[in-house]
Amino acid sequence: NEAAEQVAFADRILLNKTDLVPEAELPAIEERLRKLNPSATIFRCEKGQVDPKDLIGISSFDLRKTLDMDPEFLNTEGEHEHDNSVSSTSAKFEGFLNVKKLNMWISDIIQEMGANLFRYKGVLSVAGMDEKFVFQGVGMLFSGGFINAKWGPNETRENRFVFIGKDLDKEGLLKGFKECQCSEQLRFKIGDKVRARVGKDMAEADGYCPGVVIKTWDQGNAYRIQLQDSKKTNVWGPIDEDDFVKAA
């Protein structure tokens, strides 16, 4: 069922309202939870209060562990629906995504649709990166990043995702993902003079500063640019569009 599935995928389990249960009964409850998920840390708590450091920035996603619990994790065509009020949408397409656009879009949909998102997951091909980008989430709780698994030399670079929730805007989700697509072919090459959008403290009147491209596809960013200032400051041009980088 849904509750057991969420326990199985959890990295941290909050055993709440422990003040309302006799101490002697708690070990049996924890044992039932460990049978569902032996690797998750269980925190006893009251009123849901837990030290944030135990929940945030724990970098706990493990693809092998996830596949052990759900061999179909990477199969976006096999998701099930649990009742008539819940629907799912999935897609698969070849090509590359820009990681900056992707992060901005995911942040937007979590804010806009988080209350209706029951579960979502995906494996994505990010331009300029050999590693696969994996994400998963429940509601507004999102985890995603590059994992220690690279695209093979003969493996098709493709993007797969599935969203399960209530009143999903299926066309909007697919459109949002498609808008994150990009080409690995860039407009500028190393050595080209460009103008990079920067902060007000470094920008000229138009919001840009002159610079030179010194690297392409740097950590998923389209360009690394050395500004023509006294400090030779390095900045990223995350997206290959004039809003971020334009010709000098």
Per-residue pLDDT of the chain (248 residues; tens, 9 = 90+): 556 666 766 778 889 999 999 999 999 999 988 877 776 789 999 888 888 777 766 555 555 555 555 555 555 455 544 455 567 788 888 999 998 998 899 889 888 888 788 778 889 999 999 999 998 887 777 888 888 889 999 999 999 888 888 888 888 888 998 999 999 999 999 999 999 999 988 889 999 999 999 999 998 999 999 999 989 999 999 999 999 999 99
Q: Does residue 226 contact residue 233 with C-beta atoms inside 8 Å? A: yes
Rounded to two decimals, the pTM is 0.65
Q: How far is CA 51 from the centre of its chain?
A: 24
How many Å apart are CA 110 and CA 224, to the nearest integer?
A: 29
- Sign of the CA dihedral running 224, 228, 233, 238: negative
At 243, list the tokens: 């809003």
